[in-house]
Each structure stands twice: as structure tokens, then as C-alpha cells.
């Protein structure tokens, strides 16, 4: 396969900004959930099911990946921001709970249609600097988590809850820009067009050892990451009695994560994927242990540095996955996303159960020590440092 080695800066920026805006819309639910509860008179149990509805379509990532590999991937990427922004902009005008659930299911489909082919497109336009491209792509997603609540709350402040539909044109404009920029860029045709595609089961069998190793990396790294992202404010409030300190620490952690996301992929292009992952596997749990056994500004420094290292995994892993020379790139990427999804959900449940049994401080120690088990999986993982052919 002949690949264009040029880093297409403008296209990388366009897709990364589209990722940013798409994920801003994706994060609208939580900030306005209290208003929706009040408007529709729904219980907290039913409101919890809304988040599940939003995530259910992620279970169909492999099917979407197969679908994407049979079509022109760019069209799924182009249309998905329009789907997501339309559904999420209409949350405020939803007249019933069922209508709200349908909107969130549609949003989940739009998100899957974006995130399955997104890294594949980034690979195509990044040339021989895939890590750098993935860093830009993931940076958009990380920043969106901060901007999303501010955007929707600002809109509600200006126009009221039922005026949220006015945000719709911005997302539609993103799809229009993606159409202009990407409609002529071929992806699927670039992947072994002269070779007969192997069957699904054959592809899975050949990739199974890689998937198992990757599952180990995801699980043992995310057991620590989930504990921090879900329970850091609670831990600090428990230690210091200040909820504000917990919120500030989480903000610093997330901001540092954006830095780690941006630089890890780019750096992996220069010194190798495996070296970055090994550093993250060692430093992340070590820094958390430092955070647990220090106080004041020193502990703040430790948890901030943890954000840099623990968020370094994703762009590097995406670079590895999308460096595999395969006739089914979107399908492989969808399997990896599904593994990540289940790892994240499972580790949050495990962390919560451990806290119920052992308490916050002991759980942080347990998950920190457990996270060192990421290292052996990283060591045996096949990386993009040497191109693989499947």
C-alpha cells in the first residue's frame, strides 16, 4: 500500500476541531439534567437511565465498524456532527421522557458514527506522523469536556431551557465544513484495494492476541484512571473537608490530562510508542502513591503530573491501532473502542465496590498498586514502532 507521507495539517486541524465541537454537544445532558428533571417530573432512577440510553449505541461499535469498512468512511464522519448536534440541541424542547430517551439514543448513534471512523481518517491525513495526528484529535475531545457545560448553561441562561435548539446551526456548520474538506479524500480504497478482504472471524482470530494484550493495558490503567476521575473530589473532601479543593484538584488533573494527550502522541512519533506507554505505566501509579502520602502543594503537584501521564495512553494506543495495515481498519478500531468502553464501565463499578468495602484512601492504594500490572501487558504489546500487517 502506498501512503501519502505528508502531514495534512489543515485536515488534521479540521477533524480535531470537529471532534471538539461534536463532543461539546455530547456533554450537554449532565449540566441541564436538574432542569429536565424539574420540567418532566422524572425520578432520579429514570434520570440515571438517560445516561445509559446515551451510551447504549456504543455496544454496536463493531457493527458500525463493519458497515464503515464497506462504505466510504468519510461520509459517516461528515454526517455525524449534524446528527449529534440536532439531537442534543433539542433536549430542552423534549415534551416527554420517552422523547428525551429517543433523542439520546440518536445522539449515541451519531457519536458512534463519529468516533469509529474518526481515528481512521486521522491516520489517513497524518501521513507518517500518526501519533501527532492522534494527539490533536484527542485534544479536541478533552477540551470539549470543559467547554460543553459552559456552552449549554450559557445558552440556557440566554434563551431558557426550551431555547437550546438555537445551538443547532453550529453543529450543522461543522458537517458542512467536513463535507467541503473531506468529501474527496478516500480511505477505504487506500486499504488493500487489490487484496481480497479476509472474513470477520479470520480477522478476529489473527487479531485476538493483540486485543487480549490491549484489554490488559486498558483494564489495569483504567482501574486507576476511573478511581481518580470519578472519586477525586470525594477523596479530597473526605481528607480536607473542602469540596472546593476537590473540584480544583479535578480541574487541574483534567487540564494536565489535555497536556498529556497533546504531547504523548507527538512524542511517540519521535521516540517510539512503547517507550511512552512504559513511562505511563510506571509513572502514573507511582505519582498517585506520591499524592496519597503527601499534603498541600506537593500532593497537588503529584496529582497534576498524574493527569499528564495517565491521559498519555489513549493517543498512543490509537496511533498503534491505526498503524495496523488492514483491509478492515474501521472494524478493528471499533473493537478497540468497545474494549475501552467495557473496561471503563467495569473499572468504575470495581472502584465503587472497593470504596464501599475499604474506604477511599485504601482503595486508592489498591488501585495504584494494581495499575503497575499495566506494565507487563505494555511490554508484550505489539506497537506501531514496527508496522503490522493483518
Render pLDDT for 291-308 as a digit per residue (tens, 0 to 9): 999 988 999 999 999 999
pLDDT of residue 186: 64
Query: Is the sign of the CA dihedral 13, 24, 119, 217 positive or negative?
Result: positive
pLDDT of residue 193: 45
pLDDT of residue 306: 96
pLDDT of residue 389: 42
> Which candidate, 105, 388, 385, places its Cα nearest to that of 273?
385
**For the chain, which ranges sit under pLDDT 50?**
1-3, 189-196, 387-390
Q: Report CA dihedral (224, 229, 231, 237) to the nearest 10 degrees.
A: 120
pLDDT of residue 223: 93
pLDDT of residue 80: 93
> Which candidate, 28, 26, 48, 24, places its Cα nearest to that of 37?
48
Q: What spatial distance separates the first Cα and last Cα of the chain, rounded to whole Å?
A: 13
pLDDT in tens, 10-48: 999 999 999 999 999 988 887 888 888 889 998 867 876
C-alpha cell at position 97 = 421522557
Q: How far apart are CA 45 and CA 43, in angstroms?
A: 5
Q: Determine the length of the chain.
A: 390
Amino acid at each position: 500500500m502506498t501512503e501519502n507521507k505528508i502531514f495534512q495539517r489543515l485536515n488534521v486541524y479540521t477533524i480535531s476541531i470537529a471532534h471538539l465541537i461534536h463532543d461539546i454537544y455530547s456533554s450537554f445532558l449532565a449540566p441541564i439534567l436538574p432542569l429536565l428533571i424539574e420540567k418532566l417530573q422524572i425520578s432520579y432512577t429514570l434520570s440515571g437511565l438517560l445516561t445509559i440510553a446515551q451510551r447504549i449505541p456504543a455496544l454496536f461499535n463493531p457493527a458500525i465498524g463493519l458497515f464503515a469498512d464497506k462504505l466510504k468512511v468519510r461520509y459517516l464522519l461528515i454526517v455525524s456532527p449534524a446528527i449529534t448536534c440536532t439531537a442534543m440541541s433539542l433536549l430542552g424542547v423534549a415534551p416527554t421522557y420517552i422523547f428525551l430517551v429517543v433523542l439520546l439514543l440518536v445522539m449515541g448513534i451519531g457519536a458512534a458514527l463519529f468516533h469509529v471512523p474518526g481515528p481512521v481518517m486521522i491516520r489517513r491525513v497524518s501521513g507518517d506522523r500518526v501519533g501527532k495526528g492522534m494527539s490533536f484529535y484527542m485534544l479536541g475531545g478533552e477540551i470539549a469536556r470543559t467547554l460543553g457545560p459552559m456552552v449549554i448553561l450559557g445558552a440556557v441562561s440566554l434563551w431558557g431551557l426550551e431555547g437550546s435548539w438555537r445551538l443547532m446551526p453550529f453543529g450543522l456548520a461543522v458537517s458542512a465544513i467536513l463535507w467541503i474538506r473531506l468529501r474527496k479524500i478516500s480511505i477505504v480504497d487506500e486499504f488493500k484495494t487489490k487484496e481480497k478482504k479476509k472474513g470477520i472471524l479470520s480477522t478476529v482470530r489473527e487479531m485476538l492476541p493483540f486485543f487480549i494484550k490491549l484489554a490488559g493495558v486498558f483494564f489495569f490503567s483504567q482501574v486507576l484512571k476511573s478511581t481518580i476521575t470519578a472519586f477525586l473530589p470525594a477523596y479530597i473532601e473526605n481528607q480536607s473537608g473542602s469540596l472546593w479543593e476537590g473540584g480544583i484538584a479535578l480541574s487541574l488533573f483534567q487540564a494536565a490530562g489535555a497536556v498529556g494527550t497533546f504531547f504523548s502522541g507527538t512524542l511517540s512519533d519521535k521516540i517510539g510508542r512503547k517507550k511512552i506507554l512504559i513511562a505511563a505505566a510506571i509513572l502514573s501509579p507511582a505519582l498517585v502513591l506520591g499524592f496519597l502520602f503527601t499534603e498541600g502543594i506537593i500532593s497537588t503537584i503529584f496529582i497534576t503530573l498524574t493527569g499528564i501521564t495517565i491521559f498519555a495512553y489513549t493517543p498512543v494506543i490509537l496511533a498503534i491501532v491505526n498503524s495496523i495495515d488492514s483491509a478492515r481498519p474501521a472494524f478493528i478500531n471499533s473493537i478497540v473502542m468497545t474494549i475501552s468502553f467495557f473496561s471503563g464501565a467495569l473499572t468504575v463499578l470495581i472502584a465503587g465496590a472497593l470504596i464501599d468495602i475499604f474506604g477511599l484512601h485504601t482503595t486508592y492504594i489498591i488501585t495504584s498498586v494494581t495499575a503497575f500490572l499495566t506494565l507487563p501487558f505494555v511490554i508484550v504489546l505489539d506497537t506501531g514502532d514496527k508496522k503490522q500487517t493483518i
